[in-house]
């Protein structure tokens, strides 16, 4: 199993540009999450999904959008990139069982200039 | 307002000694706690967890202690090894929400 994969690994965007961060998992997990990690700030939840067709906002959703058309994929869309969105983005998935261990992807480092 | 706090940004320990990482929480609805380990340029990986019905959970060199009355948990690593050098995140969940709240992390450095 590949686990959770994310592409791209790195990206530099200009202010106002758009992009989609891709995330896929092959563990048949119902739950998927997008986090951002800023230096010294821990992991902040952007959006999450409890299953295909269902998404919900997390703590910091502004400026982002998601979709969940399949169990495997959970892309994160940035429509108008701003310098405040410079961060490392992690996608994660979990089965939603009693222990809810999350499996994380390797991250995407995004810089907006 | 931080509901999960890791007040020590960093910790330095000698190889072979015990590492103790602390985590405090404010939300009494949290009933499940997890620790994750993160190496640079990688995603976090799950380390160990504990539910609120227990006060201790052990897995090899790693033990998590939970003090519900103090709203405090700690991760003990014994003996510490250089490969344990990483950032450790504490996370808490409530009532089957499956939405964890993370602390800011503690960077552990284990010196040979």
User: What number is the average pLDDT over the span B36-52?
Assistant: 95
Mean pLDDT of B57-74: 97
Residues of chain B positioned with their CB less than 8 A from the CB of A106: 41-43
Q: Does residue A64 lie in a domain region? A: yes
Smallest CA–CA distance from B4 into chain A, residue: A42
CATH 1.20.1370.20 fits B4-95, yes or no: no
Give the gap in angstroms from C-alpha A81 to the nearest C-alpha of chain B: 23
Residues of A in contact with B32 (CB under 8 A): 99-100
Nearest to A94 among B43, B98, B102 (CB): B98
Q: Which of B6-10, B38-42, B72-76, B91-95 has the lowest mean pLDDT?
A: B91-95
Tokens of B52: 């609120």
Contact yes or no for A31 and B98 at CB 8 A = yes
Contact check, Cβ <8 Å, B32/A100: yes
A28-78 pLDDT, tens per residue? Answer: 999 999 999 998 888 999 999 999 999 999 999 999 999 999 999 999 999
Residue B39 has pLDDT above 90, yes or no: yes
Locate the chain B residue with the closest alpha carbon to A43. B102
**Domain residue limits, chain B:** 4-95
Banded pLDDT at B1 (limits 50, 70, 90): confident
Do the domain assignments include residue A60?
yes
| CATH number of domain containing A92 | 2.60.40.10
Q: Which residue has the tokens 């700030």?
A: A41
Number of domains into which chain A is organized = 1
Closest to B33 in 3D by CA, of B7, B67, B2: B67
pLDDT at A113: 94
pLDDT of residue B97: 83
| Residue A113 resides in a domain | no
For residue B71, give Cα distances in angstroms to A7, A36, B6: 38, 26, 12
Q: Which domain holds residue A26?
A: 4-96+104-108
How many other C-beta atoms lie within 10 A of the C-beta of residue B62? 17
φ and ψ at residue A83, rounded to 5 degrees: -55, -30
Q: What is the mean pLDDT of residues B6-32?
A: 96
B54 shares contact with chain A (CB less than 8 Å): no
Residue A54 main-chain phi, psi, to 5 deg: -125, 120
Mean pLDDT, rounded, for A66-92:
96
Chain B CB contacts of A45 below 8 Å: 99
């Amino acid at each position: 199993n590949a686990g959770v994969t994310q592409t791209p690994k790195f990206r530099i965007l200009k202010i106002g540009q758009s992009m989609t961060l891709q995330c896929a998992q092959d563990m048949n997990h119902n739950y998927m999450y997008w986090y951002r990690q800023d230096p010294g700030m821990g992991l902040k939840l952007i959006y999450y999904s409890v299953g295909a067709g269902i998404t919900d906002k997390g703590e910091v959703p502004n400026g982002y959008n998601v979709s969940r058309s399949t169990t495997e994929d959970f892309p994160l869309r940035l429509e108008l990139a701003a310098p405040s969105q410079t961060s490392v983005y992690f996608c994660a998935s979990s089965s939603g069982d009693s222990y809810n261990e999350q499996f994380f992807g390797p991250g995407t480092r995004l810089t907006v200039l | 307002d931080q509901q999960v706090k890791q007040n020590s940004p960093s910790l330095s320990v000698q190889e072979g000694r015990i590492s103790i990482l602390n985590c405090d929480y404010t939300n009494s609805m949290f009933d499940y706690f997890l620790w994750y380990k993160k190496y640079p340029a990688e995603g976090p990986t799950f380390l160990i967890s504990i539910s609120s019905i227990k006060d201790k959970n052990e897995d090899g060199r790693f033990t998590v202690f939970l003090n519900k009355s103090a709203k405090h948990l700690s991760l003990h690593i014994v003996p510490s090894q250089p490969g344990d050098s990483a950032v450790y995140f504490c996370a808490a969940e409530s009532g089957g929400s499956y939405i964890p709240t993370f602390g800011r992390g503690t960077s552990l450095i284990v010196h040979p």
